[in-house]
Homo-oligomer: A and B are copies of this chain.
Amino acid sequence: MSEEAKNERRVLVAVDEGDESMYALSWSLKNVVFQNSKDTLILLYVKPHHGVYSALDATGILDEPQIPGHSYSPQITAAIEKYSQEVADCVLQKAKKLCKDLQNVKLETRVESGDPRDVICDMSQKLGADLLVMGSHGFGILKRAFLGSVSNYCSQNVKCPVLIVKKPKPSASTG
């Protein structure tokens, strides 16, 4: 591999609603993806599949009565879809803001739907990622409760190197 090759990498960063994934993105911008490096930075947001909302529904958070296993009314489906897209736009906008000072680095964004564990693994391969970056605990408190640790799963199943970044807890002395 030539010396130049190291600066033409495809770095996939999985972002979500949590602060930790934004911290992971910032950390990778300072430590892995450099200015003028000819890297491609791909920001991936995974919209939850409807199963997560089914579970919410069972808790009574959604106000339309549902028979378990029954499909949503078109109104509910449309509302979920709209909300989900708004969250995706908001997360990616926040992530792109963090990347605003990058020069020459190509920036791409992707929104996919499904179980984040499978989608992140699949997209790492499909997009030819040379490195996957993710937070340690991200993908939402609710989603994590239903789906388990996404970073654990991905670090075991993704073929490319995986960088897992934890957000440091605020130091007591600065509080």
Binding site for B on A (CB under 8 A): 1, 6, 9, 24, 27, 30-32, 130-131, 136, 149, 151-152, 155-156, 159-166, 168
Report how far A165 CA is from B158 CA in the complex, Å.
Answer: 10
Question: Which B residues touch A168, using CB under 8 A?
Answer: 159
Output the least CB separation between A121 and chain B (Å): 13
Considering only CB atoms, which chain B residue lies closest to A135 in the complex? B161
Question: Which B residues touch A149, using CB under 8 A?
Answer: 156
When all copies of this chain in the complex are counted, the total is 2
Question: Which B residues touch A9, using CB under 8 A?
Answer: 31
Question: Which B residues touch A6, using CB under 8 A?
Answer: 30-31
Q: With contacts A1-B30, A31-B32 known, is A159 near B166, CB below 8 A?
A: yes
Q: Are B161 and A162 in contact (CB under 8 A)?
A: no
Question: Which B residues touch A162, using CB under 8 A?
Answer: 163-164
